[in-house]
């Protein structure tokens, strides 16, 4: 049996307070990075319009008014997630937004691989799964 001293790395990393701090830091990094990247898409749409989204929604037979939900999913919800306010429901809204993007715009690519051998919709699914992880993990203490 090895005696651990406070200065040994294994003792520091196994300390409950340190684990809690690292968990909270990880949650913060996940929240800010994922929501921040999605927010960039929302800002682009706010500046340039959502004509493409309107077209995709209309072609699917859904009411065109639903296209404005992209602002909720790509502007409002990411801001809430970054701020750590209503994080779990906001992250689920973001995930729904990405899944709807796949259904409306990328459904033909679901069973395809890209030129590099990866899943054709891997970026959208990475976003959606990270957003579901944020919803499961919650905000943490660093909000």
Q: Exposed, middle or buried: residue 63 (CB in 10 Å: 0-12, 13-18, 19+)?
A: exposed
pLDDT at 14 (0 to 100): 64
Res 143: pLDDT: 83
Distance CA 117, CA 24 (A): 34
How far is Cα 9 from Cα 112, in angstroms, rounded to an integer? 45
Give residue-wise pLDDT tens across range 51-109. 999 999 999 999 999 999 999 999 999 999 999 999 999 999 999 999 999 999 999 99
In this predicted model, what pLDDT tens digit does every residue of 25-46 receive, in sequence order? Answer: 999 999 999 999 999 999 999 9
* Listed residue (20, 29, 26) closest to 82, CA to CA: 29
């Amino acid at each position: 049996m090895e005696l651990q001293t406070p200065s040994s790395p294994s003792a520091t990393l196994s300390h409950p307070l340190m684990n809690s701090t690292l968990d909270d830091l990880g949650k913060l990094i996940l929240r800010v990075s994922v929501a921040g990247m999605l927010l960039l898409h929302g800002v682009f749409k706010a500046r340039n319009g959502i004509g493409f989204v309107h077209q995709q929604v209309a072609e699917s037979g859904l009411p065109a008014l639903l296209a404005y939900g992209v602002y909720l999913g790509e502007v409002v919800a990411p801001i809430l997630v970054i701020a750590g306010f209503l994080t779990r429901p906001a992250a689920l809204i973001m995930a729904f937004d990405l899944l709807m993007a796949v259904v409306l715009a990328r459904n033909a690519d679901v069973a395809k691989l890209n030129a590099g051998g990866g899943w054709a919709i891997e970026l959208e699914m990475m976003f959606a799964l990270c957003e579901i992880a944020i919803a499961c993990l919650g905000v943490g203490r660093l909000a």
